[in-house]
Each structure stands twice: as structure tokens, then as C-alpha cells.
Amino acid sequence: MNIKATLDRIPGGMMVVPLLLGATINTFFPNALRIGGFTEALFVNSASTLIALFLLIAGTQITFKTAGSSVGKGLTLLTFKWAIGAGLGFIAILFADSNGLFLGLAPLAIIAAMTNSNGGLYIALAGQYGKEDDKAAYPFLALSDGPFLTMVALSIFGAMGFANGMFSPMSFVAVLLPLIVGVIIGNLDRNMAEWLHKGSDKLVPFFAFALGMGINFSSIIQGGLGGILLGVLTVLLTGGIGYLLFKAIGWNPIVGASEGSTAGNAVGTPAAIVAANASFGPIAEIATVQIAASVVTTAILLPIFIGFLSKRLEKSGGVAKYNERPTT
């Protein structure tokens, strides 16, 4: 069987195929691998650990000369994705109907889904198409995790008057620390860095499968057409604009497009918002199911979208020309 060759022919195959396989098992046979022991530890609960290890290995490839580009890319990704989600959410608030919806979408769902990206998906795609400093930009994207940036947007819009205290700096440090450890190891011993780097790509299908075990296809049904539309818009707008922005700057545009997803933890954002301001209660339920549908939709569509963009780039030299450039 030519398993690897087949996966290589599928856009983002090393990521998307294991992810969809995990989601299929989780949807139809949710308890099949939840049997405890090493089986559940590897196939169900390993995503965070493997992503952390992947991030540490990425850090070993970052020298002090190239660290600045990781910061620049990370903050650029974070800023433009928040601006798009918050901007579209603001438009939705202005033109919402009597039910508080815009094109069938809850403004809260738009902001939460578009500003909160799937870090595992970004790591996998940046690992396949980008350089080490692209992967090392990930910790800065952790600032989008949870309800913090959604609350910032809502407070700016005047929908609520507070956002302070909703984000713990320690949670950012907790994401950043594996990268820092990797940077230290890589700068102390380049041989150790190269040895670790040889195994990094092998982690991708395993944490992708574990991510899939957290996805249930029924979320698309519950979220309805509105949730699917939200997922499509998230891929096309945040992914497409990220592509164009990075290309204009001179960075790998595929990496910019890799932010076009919705993270699973965004599903909990409406509940957190309601806990802070009960006036959002009537819209929280529909916002939650629409965000859940967006999570599944973007997890499926983004790797396909990335594959399409990558093929378009091949006409002008592909991603290799960006990855070969010295980091500035």
C-alpha cells in the first residue's frame, strides 16, 4: 500500500486525512478509543502534548538572529485576524434584524469564530508549508484563545463596558515556555537542534487525529446553514486576506492563509460572555451552535483551501522561494 504517497497527493493530506478519520470515529463510534490506558492517551488526549513538543522542536530551529521575524509574524497574524472578525461583527451589529441576527448569523458568533483560530491546524499547515520562524509565531496566536479578544471587541463597540481581568498573562507564558526551552536548546547545541528537527514532521498525523477526536460532524447539522456559512466566510476572509497580506509583505502567503480557521475552544465563548453580561443570554445558544459548525467546517475546508492556494503559487515558484529567503 502506498499510504504516504497517497497522503502526499492530497492537499494537506498529512493533516486533513487523520483529522477526518478521527472525526468520523468520534461521530459514529465515540467510545471506540476511549478505553483508557495508552490507547486513549495517544489517540484521544495527546493533541496538546504533541503540539507542545512540536512547538519545542520548532524553537530549536530559531536562532537569536531570526527570533524577531517570529514575533513580527505572530503579531501580524493576531492583529489582522482580530480586525477582520471584529470589523465584520461590528457590521453585523449595525445591520442586525429584529432577532439580533445578520444574514442568519449572530454577531457574537461572527466575532468569536473569526478571531479565535485553531492553533493545531496552524501548526500543521505552517509545518508543512513554512519555515521554523513561521511555526514559532504560534505562541502569539494563543492570545486569541478563549473569550478575551471577543470581549475586547464588544467593549469597543459599547456593547459592554469591561474587559480587564478576563485574560491571565500566565496562560500566555504557559504556551510560550516550550518554545523558549527549544530556543535555548537550539542556541546552545546546533547538533541537538538538528537531531530533534528530524522527527518533528512525524508528529503531525498523530496530533491531527487526536484533534479530530474532538470534532463531531453533528455540529454542522445543529449549526445549520448559518454555521456552515460562518465557517466558509472564516476560511475565505481571514484565510484569503491573510494570504494577500503576507504576500504583500514578502512573507510566505500560505502561512498567512493558515490562520483561516475557528478553534474548538471558541465554542465556550458565548457562555463566558453571558457569565460576564447576562444581556447576551438570548443569543448565546444560537451563537454556540453556529461557532461549533464553523469549527468543523473550517477544519475540513481550510486544508483544501491551502492546497488550492499552494498550487496557484507553483506557477510563480511555489512556497520554496519564500522559505529559501533569509529571515529579516
Number of domains in the chain: 1
For residue 180, tell me if it sits in a domain: yes
Each residue's pLDDT tens digit, 62-107: 766 656 677 788 888 888 999 999 999 889 888 888 888 888 898 8
Residue 163 has pLDDT above 70, yes or no: no
**Mean per-residue pLDDT of the chain:** 80
* Residue 265 within any structural domain of the chain: yes
* Residue 323 maps to a domain: no
Q: How many CB atoms lie within 10 A of CB 231?
A: 29
In a domain, 2, yes or no: no
Looking at the domain assignment, is residue 3 inside a domain? no
287: confidence class by pLDDT, cuts 50, 70, 90? confident
- Structural domain of residue 229, as residue ranges? 47-313
pTM: 0.69
Q: Is residue 19 part of a domain?
A: no
CATH of the domain at 236: 1.20.1530.20
